[in-house]
Amino acid sequence: MALRAHTVTSAPTFHSRQFQRPTFPPTTTLRFRNSSPTRANSLTAEQVSFTEEENSLVEALIGIQGRGRSASPQQLNEVESAVKVLEALQGVPEPTSSSLIEGRWQLMFTTRPGTASPIQRTFVGVDFFSVFQEVYLQTKDQRVSNIVKFSDAIGELKVEAEASIKDGKRILFRFDKAAFSFKFLPFKVPYPVPFRLLGDEAKGWLDTTYLSQSGNLRISRGNKGTTFVLQKKAEPRQRLLSIISTGTGVKEAIEEFIYLNQNIGELELQEGEWQMVWSSQEETDSWLENAANGLMGTQIVRGNEQIKFVVDAFLGLKFSISGTLVKSGSRTYDVTMDDAAIIGGGFGYPLEELGSKFELELLYSDDKIRISRGYNKILFVHIRTDGLKQK
């Protein structure tokens, strides 16, 4: 059947047709526990509390991928505003002299993640890896170390620096050694950077511009113009997204998260742009089926009961399928997707026979993250990518 071109408008055109659903293998059903989970990486392992101003920063960080590398301008503005508020409050005075700065910190966000040190350029923007900074200043051997943890099974890279305190906020450092520690090797593998030959390039400074009274949140600025946000403990949504990025134990973590939030009452499908970051259904061989059923790309929810899936295709083309949703229960919606097209240059080429009807069940939803069951009972996790701006 020949494709015909038509102009795309903001409101989708709906067609009456017989829907043809692709067949998928059955998915795993989550079973809720009757008691609190006790896994080693439990989302409830640590209780985290923040002040109102600190919570604004944490909220702004949730859903940002690549520790800032993939952040939208709206997301970056929210983080920058929250950082400035905290820096104006100052937090713990003279943080370099406080015991609260000691220990291991997890890097949650950084500006300019594609520049600066080799460890930043190579690893910081990859969510699959965990990045930490260890600070030990109240010892004779003062050290600051950057650590990239590849996984529990593989090991880590540790880049160490001699450190000294210049004043109440600034730490001076000079990188002097680094090595890979692999679980499958009984010895360390040197990191191939000749720090002694780098001279001043191996030196730098780090200002702590905010240290929370709880010792759980820190903002630092480096000598190369980079801003860092670090936490000693992550809140449950952050830990869930971190587990999703590793791809290990995801279903168990989602089950636990839903258990913790099962009494939040009625849920609404919030407007905005939502990026799919995980689903319980593996992609099929059909790219169109994957796109049409939300297994990739972005989901856009409008306030006039409209919903759309959008996926970047190739050569500037996009796949789009629009539909309507009607609330059918306290947490459920009846969804009809029936206006599919390949879009390019302001024109759409309709895909007449592509469409589906299904029930969308919200298992958890807030301004930043959503967990739901969609087509064919597939479990989805979406993160919001357009900040709090209503679409």
Domain ranges of the chain: 6-32+262-384, 52-233
350, pLDDT greater than 70: yes
CB atoms within 10 A of CB 186: 5
CB 323 within 8 A of CB 304: no
200-245 pLDDT, tens digit per residue, is 888 999 999 999 999 999 999 999 889 999 999 888 999 999 899 8
- In SS3 terms, the chain reads as CCCCCEECCCCCCCCCCCCCCCCCCCCCCCCCCCCCCCCCCCCCCCCCCCCHHHHHHHHHHCCCCHHHCCCCHHHHHHHHHHHHHHHHHCECCCHHHCHHHCEEEEEEEECCCCCCCHHHHHHHCCCCCEEEEEEECCCCCCEEEEEEEEECCCEEEEEEEEEEECCCCEEEEEEEEEEEEECCCCCCEECCCCHHHHHHHHEEEEEEEEECCCCCEEEEEECCCCEEEEECCCCHHHHHHHHHHHCCCHHHHHHHHHHHCCCCCCCCCCCEEEEEEEECCCCCCCHHHHHHCCCCCEEEECCCCEEEEEEECCCCCEEEEEEEEEECCCCEEEEEEEEEEEEECCEEEECCCCCEEEEEEEEEECCCEEEEECHHHCEEEEEECCCCCCC
In the structure, what pLDDT confidence band is assigned to residue 26 with cuts at 50, 70 and 90? Answer: very low
Contact 80, 387 (CB under 8 A): no
pLDDT band at 121 (very low <50, low <70, confident <90, very high): low
Mean pLDDT over each residue of the chain, to the nearest integer = 83
**pLDDT surpassing 70 at residue 377:** yes
CATH number of the structural domain 52-233: 2.40.128
Residue 160 sits at φ, ψ, to 5 deg, of -110, 155
pLDDT tens, position by position, 324-336 = 999 999 999 999 9
Least confident interval from 37-51, 160-174, 214-228: 37-51
Tokens of 242: 């971190």
